[in-house]
Every structure is written in C-alpha cells, then in structure tokens.
Amino acid sequence: MTVPKFSLTDNTDDAVATSKAEVIIVGTVRGADNAQLAEGAAGVNAAFDGRLLAALTTLGATGKAEELIKVPTMGRLTAGAVYAVGLGKLGDGGLDPEQVRRASGVAARALAGTKRALNTLSVLDLQAAVEGSALGAYSFTEYKSEPGDAPVAKVDVLAPTEGTAKAHRATLKAATAIAESVLIARSLINTPPNDLFPASFAERAEELAKANGLDIEVLDEKALKRGGYGGILGVGSGSSRKPRLVRLRYQGSKPVKKVALVGKGITFDTGGISLKPAASMDKMTSDMSGAAAVLATVVLAAKLKYPLDITTYLPLAENMPSATAYRPGDVLRLYGGKTVEVLNTDAEGRLVLADAIVRACEDEPDYLIDTATLTGAQAIALGNRTPGVMGTDEFRDRVAGIAKRTGEGGWAMPLPEELRADLDSKLADLANVTNHRWGGMLAAALFLREFVAEGTPWAHVDIAGPSYNSDSPWGYTGKGGTGVPVRTLAAVLADIAENG
C-alpha cells in the first residue's frame, strides 16, 4: 500500500509558476453556458496570459463532474502539463467537499507514472483534496508480476487562503491518516481468500495492534467453544480454516465516552449448504468488509488520539459447505443464551454479529455501531453507493447525517414492527430469516436488534453494495474494495468525542 507524500505549498502565483511538479491540477466548474475556472487556478491562468479557459474550452472542457482535460504548458510553467478536472455544478452553498474529493481522485488516477504533482483544489477544501488524491492514487498490485505504472509519489497542495499554517498542517495530518486507514481496509478486502482467512486476518490485526499501541485478544475455536459463541462456531463449522473472534481496545487520554464497534468478518462466503449461484461468487471475498472497516477505524482512532474508550469486535469465519457444515434446520445457541433456528445458511452474517454484539454490550458502551455486508436487499433498495442505516432512532439519524456529510452516503431506514413477527420460530427463540423476500435489509436489522442491550444507542450500517466496486472506476474509487464506511465511522467518533 503506497500513499503519496503530501506537503503544503505557498499559495502564490510565483510558487505555482516555479513548482517542481510535473503536473499541475486545476478545477473547472460547470456554468450555465460554459466552463469556468475554479478558485486556485489563478497562478496557472496568469502563466497562460489569462487564456487558460479559452484553451480548455477549445479542447472541449465543460466543467462537468469527473471530466479531465490535459493541456501541455509549452514552457509557460516549470510543470510540463496542466490537468483540468471538472467539479460539476455549483450548489446553493457553493462547491461541497465531495465534489473536491472526487475531482482530486479523478486527477490522481490519471497521474499514474508521475512522480510529483501540484493540486490547487486544496484551496477549495484542503481535507477533501488530500483524501481524494490519496484514495484516487491507490492501486492494489501485490499479486501482479507486472504492476504497471506506479501511483503518483508526491502531491504538493496549495495552502488555503483562510486559516493558519498550524491549522492547515493539522488538517493535512488528519486527512492523510484518514485516507491511510481507508486504504488499510481496501487492501484487506482486496486480499484473496486463500491468503486472508480467519487466522491470518487475526494475525494482521495483531500486527496493526502492536504497531499502534492497541490491546488485542484473539479467541480461537477452543476458546469460542468454552465461551459459548454458537453463532461464530456454527457458521465456521464447515471450513478447515477455523473461526476467530478478535477484540481490540483503544483507550484515549481522559475518554469522554465508551464506544463499541462490531464488523462482520466472513472471509469467504459460499452460502454454505444454501449455496450461492456460481456467478459473481468471487466477489464474496469482500464479505469481511465490515471487519476491515472497524479494524481500520480503531487504528485511526489511535493515530489521531481521540479522547474515547473504543472496543472493537471482529467475528471472523469462513462459510463453507462440507460434511461438518451447519445445516438448514439446525438450532444454534448463541452467546448469551438465545437460540436461533437456521432456515438459510447464507444468512450467516447476522449469526456471527449477534455473538459479537452481545459480547460488546457486556462492556456497557455509551454507543454501539455495527457494520456489515449483510443483505443483498440493501443494494436492491439503495443501490451500490448508499449504505442503509438502521438502529435506535436518534443515533441512527445522527450516523446517517454524518455519513452523508463525509461523502460516503447513508440513508436512515425504519425498523417496521410488523416484520418482527416474521422472525419467530416454532423451535427456537428466533429464525435467522423470514419466510418471504420483502424488507430483507430491515428484517436483518430487526434480528440484530434482539441482541442489543436495552437502552444502548445503536446503529447498524449495511454496506453490501457500497463496500465493493465491481464496475468502472469513478471519482476516488477504483475497482475492488472501497473502504466504506471507514470515513463515516471516523467522523462519528470525532463527533462523539466533541459532543458526547
């Protein structure tokens, strides 16, 4: 995982003209009739004798979002080329950070093979520009014998006109740390399941814990059996690669609140005995995206020294069919004593999450957040870029609102009480699925709610679609794992640290 090195540059025409960067990035905005130059392009425009926009318009620039126009400088600047990237239309409040983030990502993807670039979009939003550049530059090439052009190695960013140098440095540090954590999650998701399985995932968690001063406890299959973690054991029973439960803890200085994070960690999901269709099963290597996200988030909390007490649970298992696999019709006794009738072994994520949620609630957190690639119904309802957020009303809405502001998206969804009866079982306390297809995302959240301690503010973030991009790259998102919802979780933690 390679992250560009970022450095602040004085915001002057002379600094732009003499920049040692090979490429200078400027923004264009879509106007009513034609493109307009965004703030930050003045130094480049001056070098073009005020005719930069005319040159870009001749080349077809419109300012639409994610448009990229390349212009040679012909010696007008020390840099050899200008990349003009579209930001889209101005909103009522001007450009929002996500527009800057995506535009920076588009430019960063085009900078492969470039050693150094100067991004002027930072004058619009420093944090968004840095995050977009870092995330857009990401490339996972560990398994390629010919990895191709390397990502851009260094990105200079113009200092915004407002604010102090100290504040700008702090923003740069935080943005870089956030992006690095997203990339930790992406790289875990992109690692193939023959190399990333419960035990090896736990080992990677141990390495990150040691490097960042986190406490860690790993329960193997024997400890899980002694503890009564029937959900994790049941789901993992069909695989030769035995399950794990990883518990990490970060204790900030003078913590103001206790937060529990839980992430689904199915390192590969065949569906078990209720086997999935073969088409697209390879994407199920991403079924541990929730665990990757919460692991990366607790690492970030340690780096940024949040004044919080954070405990993170990663229930890790591989869902495989075999002679020892759990079956439709089985009844599992989960951690804490509740029993669940298994009607479909492909509804396994809620079983491992239930074990971890009950255990997390024993820590008596002030807030509990779980995230998971839980239901195909999420993508049907909200598409591949918008997570569904459910839980206790007030905290659900708080998390969903923060998710939107980070640019990762999030939509508050209800928990209709009429669906709860559909989870009743004749044999056990609960069935793991309903007997119909309607409201599958909501029913899964209702199942999880049964295991949340009464009175605990709780949010469940379903990222089945947003966690993995199998389509063309866009903005700062390439193919493969996206790292959603690391930035959301980080922002929620920061909000709790500030506001309680």
Give pLDDT tens digits for 151-210: 999 999 999 999 999 999 999 999 999 999 999 999 999 999 999 999 999 999 999 999
Residue where one domain finishes, among candidates 172, 206, 228:
172
CATH number of the domain enclosing 443: 3.40.630.10
CA distances from 48 to 14, 81, 111, 121, 397 (A): 13, 12, 22, 18, 48
State whether 231 and 333 are in the same domain. Answer: yes
Are 465 and 378 contacting, i.e. CB atoms less than 8 angstroms apart? yes
pLDDT of the residue at 8:
96
Coil, helix or strand at residue 114: coil
103 within a domain of the structure (yes/no): yes
The answer to whether 402 touches 294, Cβ cutoff 8 Å, is no
**187 within some domain:** no
Beta bridge partners of 431: 341
Among 143, 172, 201, the domain-final residue is 172
Could you tell me if 164 and 214 lie in one domain?
no
Encoding tokens for residue 251?
A: 């204790």
Which pLDDT belongs to residue 437?
87
Instruction: Kindly list the strands in the beta sheet with 331-333, ordered across the sheet, starting from the edge strand earlier in the chain.
Output: 331-333, 339-341, 430-431
Indicate whether 74 and 206 sit together in one domain. no
Q: Is 153 in contact with 188 (CB distance < 8 Å)?
A: no
DSSP annotation of 160: P
Q: pTM here? A: 0.97
Q: In the chain, pLDDT over 90 holds for what percent of residues?
A: 96
Identify the DSSP state of 437. Answer: S
- 485 cis-preceded (ω within 30 degrees of 0): yes
Q: Identify whether residues 259 and 379 lie together within a single domain.
A: yes
CA distance 271 to 327: 11
With respect to residue 179, please indicate whether it lies within any of the assigned structural domains.
no
Summarised one tens digit per residue, pLDDT across range 82-136 is 999 999 999 888 899 999 999 999 999 999 999 999 999 999 999 999 999 999 9
Answer yes or no: do 164 and 202 share one domain: no
From residue 498, how far is each of 307, 460, 492 by CA, in Å?
9, 22, 10
For residues 340 and 412, state if they share a domain.
yes
On whether both 198 and 56 belong to a single domain, the answer is no
Alpha carbon distance 23, 386 (integer Å): 33
**Which are the contacts of 471, defined by CB distance < 8 A and separation ≥ 6?**
384, 479
The answer to whether residue 78 is domain-embedded is yes
pLDDT category at 376 given cuts 50, 70, 90 is very high
Same domain, 168 and 200: no
Does 66 lie in the same domain as 145?
Answer: yes
Tokens of 293: 């996200």
E-only strand ranges, 98-229: 116-119, 154-158, 215-219
Please compute the mean of the pLDDT values over residues 358-367 and round it to a whole number.
Answer: 98
Q: Residue 5's pLDDT is what?
A: 97
pLDDT at 234 over 80: yes
- Select from 115, 140, 172 the last residue of a domain: 172
CATH number of the structural domain spanning residue 152: 3.40.220.10
Expressed as residue numbers, the domain containing 204 is 193-499
Number of domains in the chain: 2
Say yes or no: 114 and 9 in one domain: yes
Banded model confidence at residue 391, pLDDT cuts 50, 70, 90: very high
Residue 8's H or E segment, with its range, is strand 5-9
Better pLDDT: 182 or 34: 182
Same domain, 147 and 209: no
Place of tokens 């789901």: 235
For residue 177, tell me if it sits in a domain: no
pLDDT digits (tens, 9 = 90+) for 422-472: 999 999 999 999 999 899 999 999 999 999 999 999 999 999 999 999 999
Residue 35 lies in a domain: yes
Q: Which residues are the active-site residues?
A: 276, 350
Query: In this model, does residue 2 exceed pLDDT 90?
Result: no
- Residue 366 tokens read as 């002030």
Same domain, 150 and 271: no
What is the pLDDT, as a whole number, of residue 93?
A: 83
Q: Does any domain span residue 183?
A: no
123's CB contacts (< 8 A; 6+ apart) are 11, 39, 40, 158, 159, 160, 161
One-letter amino acid of 102: R
- 1, pLDDT greater than 80: no
Range name among 4-18, 408-422, 466-480 with the lowest pLDDT average: 4-18
Nearest CA to 61 out of 98, 103, 97 is that of 103
Question: Taking the CA atoms of the chain, what radius of gyration do you get in angstroms?
Answer: 24
User: β-strands 5-9, 35-37: how paired?
Assistant: unpaired
Closest CA to 408 of 497, 469, 349: 469
The whole-number average pLDDT for the span 386-402 is: 98
Predicted pLDDT of residue 316:
99
Assess if residue 83 is contained within a domain: yes
